[in-house]
C-alpha cells in the first residue's frame, strides 16, 4: 500500500490506493455494496482553507484523498449552546479487529480507514481487547501481539487510543471467554448467570463469584487484576501518550448490568431476573436468613413475567404488585446490591493497577429506557437498577465511580423520544438526563456513545446532547467502524456530524510541502505484527 504526498503552492493531495479484491471496506461478513464506482466527498474547515476528503471505491480499488482548496463549504455553521471545540471525538474499531489467533483482521482496510479519520479530524480510536483472545489458552499466559500491532499503527497514523478491556464474550461476531474458563464452566456450571429455566449466559461470569476462587484456584477479581497488570506492562511504551483512556468491562457487552435479555433477540418484554446459578442462590439464601426471612431465599420472584411477556401481563411489575411489597424490596435490594458491589470491585482493581499511568479510567452503563415510563421501570429492575429508601439507583452507582476516580460512559446519545414506539413506554431522553444529573451531583465526568444501530436523526441528537450545558461531555465515541460506517451514505452523514462539532486541528498531513517533491510512505500489509511506516 502506498501513500503519496504531492505538493505545490496551491494544492496538496494525499492518496491511498488499495486493491479492492484484497481490501474493499469489508469487515466481518459485510461489505460496501453499490454501483461500479462510488464516491463520498465532504468539506471541512481548516483555518482559511477548506479540506475536501474523498473515499472512492470500485471493484478494483479504494482511494482516500484529501485536497486543500479555496472552495466554499457546503455546510453553514450551526449555532452552539455550548462550544464543542473541546469535545474529543473517537471512533470504535470493529469488535473482531484482532482474531482469536492474534492476527489483525482487515489490516489494510483498517489502516486506510484510520488515515481517512485522521484527515477528517477525529481525535482517536477505541480498541476492544478481549480476555478470550489475550488469555485464551491457560491462566496467566497472555498474548498481546495482535493488539500491540494495532496500537503501533494507531500511533504512527497520529491518533490517540482508548483501550476497552473486555471481560465478556460476544455473539456477533462470535468471541468467547478463554478456553480454560469454558472448561471450568463445563465442570462447574455455577460460574455463569442462569435464569429460572436453567439456561446459562456464557458470555460473562456471575457477579456472585467475584470473590470465589473458581478460576483455577483464583477469584475472578484476582484474574482481572493480573490481566490489567499484564496489559500495563505490555503497553508501557504507549501509556499516557498514545493510550489516553481505558474502559473496564463491567458485565454483558461491557456494560454494568445483568444479562436480563439473555439471547438479545426478544426485547418486547422487560427481561428476566438472572439469579439461579448456585452461587447467586447461595448468596440469596444467606441474605434471607440474615434478615430473618429464610423462606424468601429459595429463589427469585415467582410472579415475574417471561422474556416474551409484557411487564403488566403478570402481577410483579404492576402498580401495587410484588415489586412494591416487603418481599419485593427485600429481593430487589439484594439483587441490585450485587451489581453495585461488582462495579466497586472491578473499578477498585483497575484503579490500583493503573494508578500513576496518566490514563483516565472509564466504566459503561446501559441506557435501559424501554418501559421506563411505568412506575416500576421493569427493564431497569431486571438489569439490577433499583431505588430504595430514598436512595436513587444511579446516584449509588455514580458514588462508586467517583470513589474510584472513574468516568462514566453513557450510550444512546443518538436516541430521541419521538422515534420510540408508543407501546414501549420508552423515554431515552429523560433517562439520559437522569443519569447525567446523578453524575453531576457526584462529580463524575460523563463520556458519550451512540447506540449500536443507526437511528433516524441520530447525528443531530448527538450534537444536541453534546451541547447540553448542564453536564459537559468532553469525549464522545462513535460506534463503530465497518462496512456500513464507510458506505457512501453513512460516511457522508458522519462527516457532516464532525463538521458540526467544529473539531478540526491541522493534521501533520496538512502542512505545506516544499517544492514539487513526492514523498511516499509505505505501510506493510501483513496479517500479523505492526505495519511499518517509513518515509521514502
Q: State the pLDDT at residue 184.
A: 97
Which alpha helices (DSSP H) does 314-359 contain, by range?
326-353
Residue 349 falls inside a structural domain: yes
Q: What values do phi and psi take at 40, rounded to 5? A: -115, 120
Bridge partners of 38? 57
Residue-by-residue DSSP string for 261-323: SSSSS--SS-------SHHHHHHHHHHHHHTT-GGGGSSS-TTPPPTTS-GGGSSTTSTTSGG
Higher pLDDT, residue 103 or 14 = 103
Q: What is the reported pTM?
A: 0.83
Query: Does residue 290 surpass a pLDDT of 80?
Result: yes
Q: Where is average pLDDT lowest: 65-79, 291-305, 316-330, 368-382?
A: 65-79
SS (H, E, C) 234-267: HCCCCECCCEEEEEECCCHHHECCCCCCCCCCCC
For the chain, state the CA radius of gyration: 24
Residue 528 falls inside a structural domain: no
Residue 204 falls inside a structural domain: yes
Q: State the pLDDT at residue 20.
A: 31
Question: What gap in Å lies between CA 10 and CA 348, rounded to an integer?
Answer: 55
Tell which residue, 51, 66, 77, 59, has the closest CA to residue 18.
Answer: 59
Grid coordinates belonging to 1: 500500500
Grid coordinates belonging to 301: 420472584
Grid coordinates belonging to 378: 421493569
63-76: pLDDT as tens digits: 444 443 333 333 34
Mean of the pLDDT values across residues 151-176? 96
Q: Which domain holds residue 403?
A: 88-270+334-504
With 0-12 / 13-18 / 19 or more C-beta atoms within 10 angstroms meaning exposed / middle / buried, residue 31 is: middle
Query: Does residue 107 surpass a pLDDT of 70?
Result: yes
| Percent share of the chain, pLDDT over 90 | 68
Mean of the pLDDT values across residues 315-332? 95
Question: What gap in Å lies between CA 273 and CA 260, rounded to an integer?
Answer: 6
Residue 95 falls inside a structural domain: yes
Grid coordinates belonging to 386: 433499583
Tell which residue, 166, 155, 77, 158, has the closest CA to residue 122.
Answer: 158
Query: Does residue 24 surpass a pLDDT of 60?
Result: no
Q: State the pLDDT at residue 351.
A: 97
Q: What values do phi and psi take at 51, rounded to 5? A: -105, 125
Bridge partners of 164? 128, 247
Query: Does residue 100 surpass a pLDDT of 50?
Result: yes
Q: State the pLDDT at residue 470.
A: 75
Residues 6+ apart with CB under 8 A from 8: 513, 516
Mean of the pLDDT values across residues 51-58? 48
Q: Please, are residues 57 and 26 in contact by the beta-carbon 8 Å criterion?
A: no
What is the separation of C-alpha 526 from the centre of its chain, rounded to a whole number of angstroms? 27
Residue 276 falls inside a structural domain: no
Q: How many CB atoms lie within 10 A of CB 424?
A: 16
Tell which residue, 47, 55, 48, has the closest CA to residue 15.
Answer: 55
- Give me the CATH number covering residue 447: 3.20.20.80
Residue-by-residue DSSP string for 26-69: EETTEE---SSSEEEEEEEEETTEEEEEEEEE-SSEEEEEEEEE
What is the separation of C-alpha 296 from the centre of its chain, rounded to a whole number of angstroms? 37
Cell numbers 464532525 correspond to what residue? 498
Domain count, the chain: 1
Residue 296 falls inside a structural domain: no
Task: Identify the band that residue 172 occupies on the pLDDT scale cut at 50, 70 and 90.
Answer: confident
Residue 522 falls inside a structural domain: no
Tell which residue, 471, 455, 356, 464, has the closest CA to residue 407.
Answer: 471
Tell which residue, 122, 107, 105, 5, has the closest CA to residue 64.
Answer: 5
Tell which residue, 475, 458, 375, 515, has the closest CA to residue 160.
Answer: 475
Bridge partners of 75? none
Query: Does residue 268 surpass a pLDDT of 50?
Result: yes
484-505: pLDDT as tens digits: 999 998 999 999 899 877 543 3
Tell which residue, 382, 390, 394, has the closest CA to residue 437.
Answer: 394
Roughly what angle, to the nearest 10 degrees, separates helices 220-234 and 326-353? 30
Q: State the pLDDT at residue 471.
A: 79
Question: What gap in Å lies between CA 421 and CA 442, rounded to an integer?
Answer: 33
Q: State the pLDDT at residue 500.
A: 79
Average pLDDT, the chain: 82
Tell which residue, 279, 263, 330, has the closest CA to residue 301.
Answer: 330
Residue 523 falls inside a structural domain: no
Reported as type and span, the H/E element at residue 145 is helix 145-157
Mean of the pLDDT values across residues 507-515? 38
Mean of the pLDDT values across residues 176-200? 95
Amino acid at each position: 500500500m502506498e501513500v503519496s504526498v504531492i505538493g505545490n503552492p496551491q494544492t496538496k493531495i494525499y492518496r491511498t490506493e488499495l486493491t479492492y479484491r484484497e481490501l474493499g471496506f469489508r469487515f466481518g461478513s459485510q461489505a460496501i455494496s453499490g454501483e461500479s464506482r462510488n464516491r463520498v466527498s465532504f468539506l471541512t474547515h481548516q483555518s482559511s482553507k477548506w479540506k475536501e476528503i474523498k473515499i472512492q471505491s470500485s471493484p478494483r480499488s479504494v482511494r482516500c484523498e484529501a485536497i486543500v482548496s479555496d472552495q466554499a463549504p457546503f455546510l453553514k455553521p450551526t449555532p452552539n449552546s455550548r462550544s464543542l471545540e473541546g469535545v474529543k471525538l473517537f471512533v470504535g474499531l470493529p469488535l473482531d479487529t484482532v482474531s482469536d489467533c492474534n492476527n489483525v483482521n482487515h489490516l489494510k482496510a483498517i489502516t486506510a480507514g484510520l488515515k481517512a479519520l485522521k484527515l477528517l479530524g477525529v481525535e482517536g480510536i477505541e480498541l476492544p481487547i478481549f480476555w478470550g483472545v489475550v488469555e485464551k489458552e491457560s491462566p496467566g499466559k497472555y498474548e498481546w501481539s495482535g493488539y500491540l500491532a494495532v496500537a503501533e499503527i494507531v500511533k504512527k497514523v497520529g491518533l490517540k487510543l482508548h483501550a476497552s478491556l473486555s471481560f465478556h464474550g460476544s455473539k456477533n461476531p462470535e468471541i468467547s471467554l478463554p478456553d480454560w474458563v469454558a472448561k471450568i464452566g463445563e465442570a462447574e456450571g455455577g460460574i455463569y448467570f442462569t435464569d429460572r429455566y436453567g439456561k446459562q449466559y456464557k458470555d460473562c461470569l456471575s457477579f456472585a463469584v467475584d470473590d470465589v476462587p473458581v478460576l483455577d484456584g483464583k477469584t475472578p477479581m484476582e484474574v482481572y487484576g493480573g490481566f490489567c497488570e499484564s496489559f500495563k506492562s505490555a503497553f508501557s511504551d504507549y501509556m499516557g501518550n498514545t493510550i489516553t483512556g481505558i474502559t473496564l468491562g463491567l458485565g454483558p457487552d461491557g456494560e454494568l448490568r445483568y444479562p436480563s435479555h439473555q439471547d438479545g433477540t426478544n426485547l418486547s418484554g422487560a427481561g428476566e431476573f438472572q439469579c439461579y446459578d448456585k452461587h447467586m442462590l447461595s448468596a440469596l439464601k444467606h441474605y434471607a436468613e440474615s434478615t430473618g426471612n429464610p423462606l424468601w431465599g429459595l429463589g427469585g420472584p415467582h410472579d415475574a413475567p417471561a422474556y416474551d411477556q409484557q411487564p403488566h401481563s403478570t402481577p410483579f411489575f404492576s402498580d401495587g404488585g410484588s415489586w412494591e411489597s416487603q418481599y419485593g424490596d427485600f429481593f430487589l435490594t439484594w439483587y441490585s446490591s450485587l451489581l453495585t458491589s461488582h462495579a466497586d470491585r472491578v473499578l477498585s482493581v483497575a484503579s490500583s493497577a493503573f494508578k500513576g499511568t496518566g490514563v483516565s479510567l472509564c466504566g459503561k452503563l446501559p441506557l435501559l429506557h424501554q418501559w421506563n415510563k411505568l412506575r416500576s421501570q421493569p427493564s431497569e429492575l431486571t438489569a439490577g437498577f433499583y431505588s430504595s429508601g430514598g436512595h436513587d439507583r444511579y446516584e449509588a452507582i455514580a458514588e462508586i465511580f467517583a470513589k474510584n476516580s472513574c468516568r462514566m460512559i453513557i450510550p444512546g446519545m443518538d436516541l430521541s423520544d419521538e422515534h420510540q414506539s408508543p407501546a414501549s413506554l420508552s423515554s431515552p431522553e429523560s433517562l439520559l438526563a437522569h443519569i447525567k444529573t446523578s453524575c453531576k451531583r457526584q462529580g463524575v465526568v460523563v463520556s458519550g456513545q451512540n447506540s449500536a444501530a443507526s437511528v433516524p436523526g441520530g447525528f443531530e441528537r448527538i450534537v444536541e446532547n453534546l451541547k447540553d450545558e448542564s453536564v459537559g461531555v468532553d469525549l464522545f465515541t462513535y460506534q463503530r467502524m465497518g462496512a456500513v460506517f464507510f458506505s457512501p451514505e453513512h460516511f457522508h452523514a458522519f462527516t457532516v456530524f464532525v463538521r458540526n462539532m467544529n473539531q478540526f486541528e491541522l493534521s501533520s498531513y496538512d502542512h505545506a510541502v516544499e517544492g514539487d517533491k513526492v514523498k511516499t510512505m509505505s505501510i506493510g500489509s501483513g496479517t500479523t505484527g505492526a505495519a511499518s511506516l517509513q518515509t521514502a
